[in-house]
Amino acid sequence: MDTLLTKKLLTLKEACDWASSFLNRNISESNITYLIQYGKVKKYGENGSTQINIEDLKQYYRSFNGKREVEWKKKLGNDLNWNLSFDNLREKDTTKHVHRLHPYKGKFIPQLVEYFIDDHTDNFKQNKFFKKGDIILDPFSGSGTTLVQANELGIHSIGVDISHFNCMITDAKLLDYDLNSLTKEVKNITLLIDKFETDRRIEEFEKELYFELAKFNNKNFPSPDFKRKIYKREIEENKYAAGKEKEFLSIYEKLVTKYKIELKQDGDKNFLDKWYIKNIRKEIDFAFEQIKEIKDEKNKRILTIILSRTIRSCRATTHSDLATLKEPQIATYYCWKHKKICKPLFSIKYWFSRYAVDTITRIKEFQKLKNGAQWASITGDSRTVDIKKEIKSKNKDFYNLMESQKIKGIFSSPPYVGQIDYHEQHAYAYDLFGFERKDELEIGPLYKGQGIEAKKSYINGISQVLLNSKKFLTDNFDVFLVANDKWNLYPQIAEKAGMKIINQYKRPVLNRTERDKNPYSEIIFHLKSN
């Protein structure tokens, strides 16, 4: 370490060693490369010999990483449990295996579930709430994070969700597949999509557009130098970006005219009409027709999920607005995420192929971890659903298990008041697949707002879910609910449900998709019978 301190320029490995010692935790080469790519530290050296100035690293870690916990506690309170930030994890850890099979707004990371339900972790040596062989319930199962993680840990699980599509994502993650059959089917559908042509001009248009974009971006937004200048505030990003965006737009419009590209569809009756460029819509319809012909039901389901993931990525919107759509984007634009001029998509082919390969890889990885735990995903209203009746119709073995033991507890993240319309976030899938929407049965949806009546309705809704769930729980149950309770509604919810809050854990939420990166926290409430 003393030798490193005397050097000004460090190799990647030396930078990792120094940073690991400085921060007292493991820092990988990918961590340092990230800092270079996003302009946080300057790269020195040529021809693959990357070097970093040790003073740049010191300045970055002292100004951000080292002080982040202190700054967040100043703003959010000293009761913030930094252990639950999982700030030591990389993105590939928090999106491991099937957890990234399909995007889902509002889900929690699997490590949070594992922290509370894994009896092998060190976090609760004196308080092991769940063990292998127990049954756990998630009455707001969303895309199935709790069920997947429980399955990995040998805990039986039940998920309930009002959204048909959410349950379809969960099923796709947990089903057992014949991998040889699935791989062949995926390759076949990918090949059919790749060969499908709606307009030969699209390919020629995109080739020339890519060439012009690369030339323009290399000149006006060189990476990582441009990002570093923004980071150091040497460039007024808003003004500079607006000028360059307008400059390239004229190039784009000339190409659209030259190749006679049709951007808009003929109508806009639904989501698929409004949010997709014409060629993409034709490709989507073709792909779905091919998938509907598949005989194996499991293969058909997972390919439907691959298509859904693809069409979500191919919406006519900016990269920054993928999570929250604003207006259709059918022209080139300055991208706040990538710090350069980006373009809308004109074909699904690349993304379908990429997601197909990724999906097979993730399923293979997860199937090695599965250990025979029972699971069931139920489409229904958690306020009224008869869980045992539903299990009996789906899985007799699981039903027999429930006859001999009740559900040990709950781990769930209920919807927050007035934040997300859960059906609407997958409107493209409901339009294409023809699923029945039940928006009116959502608890706390965005469209109902955050007023007094919305909060009353929310309190009643969540408490009714807990009351109904109690019918199927053991007497000495443990309930964990992840919530951002800024209006202090959960004490009322617990009381109405005949429960009491015995503990709560306040965690920082570090990795948010929105451009708003202000400190944000959520609470995990631990409830037991009153």
- At residue 270, does pLDDT exceed 80? yes
Average pLDDT, integer, range 514-524: 73
Place of tokens 């080139």: 332
> Which pLDDT value is given to residue 126?
47
Question: Does residue 349 surpass a pLDDT of 60?
Answer: yes
If one looks up domain 109-174+372-484 in CATH, what number appears? 3.40.50
* Rounded CA separation 346/46 (Å): 36
Cβ-contact 382, 163 below 8 angstroms: no
Contact assessment for residue 102 and residue 166, using Cβ atoms and an 8 Å cutoff: no
Q: 150-199: per-residue pLDDT in tens? A: 999 999 999 999 999 999 999 999 999 999 999 999 999 999 999 998 87
pLDDT at 125: 41
What pLDDT, on a 0 to 100 scale, did the predictor assign at position 421?
92
Contact 521, 485 (CB under 8 A): no
What is residue 239's predicted lDDT score, i.e. its pLDDT? 95
pLDDT of residue 355: 98
What mean pLDDT do residues 340-359 have? 96
Q: Tell me the pLDDT tens digit for each residue of 109-160.
A: 999 999 998 865 544 444 579 999 999 999 999 999 999 999 999 999 999 9
Please check the confidence at residue 467 and state whether its pLDDT lies above 60. Answer: yes
This prediction has a pTM of 0.85
Query: According to the model, what pLDDT value does residue 60 have?
Result: 82
For the stretch 285-318, pLDDT in tens is 999 999 999 999 999 999 999 999 999 999 999 9
Look up residue 60 and give its DSSP letter: H
User: pLDDT tens across 221-256, in order?
Assistant: 998 899 999 988 999 999 999 999 999 999 999 999
Residue 29 has pLDDT above 50, yes or no: yes
> In the predicted model, is pLDDT for residue 432 greater than 90?
yes
Handedness of CA 162, 163, 169, 175 (dihedral sign): positive
The reply to whether omega before 110 is within 30° of 0 (cis) is no
Strands (E), 484-520: 499-508
| Higher pLDDT pick, 328 / 127 | 328
Phi, psi values for residue 376, rounded to 5°: -150, 135
Average pLDDT over residues 258-265: 94
Say what the pLDDT of residue 502 is.
96
**Mean of pLDDT over the chain:** 91
DSSP letter string, 301-337: HHHHHHHHHHHHHTSSS-GGGSSS--S---S-EEETT
Q: What's the token pair of residue 488?
A: 């202090």
- Report how far residue 518's alpha carbon sits from residue 509's, in angstroms, rounded to the nearest whole number: 10
More confident residue, 126 or 327: 327
Quickly count: other Cβ atoms within 10 Å of residue 528's Cβ: 15
Q: What is the pLDDT of residues 358-405, one digit of tens each?
A: 999 999 999 999 988 999 999 999 999 999 999 999 999 999 999 999
What is the reported pLDDT for 520? 81
Q: Give the confidence band of 511 by pLDDT, cuts at 50, 70, 90.
A: low
Q: Domain locations in the chain?
A: 2-76, 109-174+372-484, 179-361
Lowest mean pLDDT among 54-68, 182-196, 269-283, 516-530: 54-68
Q: Is the pLDDT of residue 514 over 60?
A: no
Q: Shortest CA distance to 382 belongs to which of 145, 108, 169, 159?
A: 159
Residue 528 has pLDDT above 90, yes or no: yes
- Per-residue pLDDT band for 85 (boundaries 50, 70, 90) equals confident
pLDDT value of residue 40: 81
Q: What pLDDT is recorded for position 3? A: 57
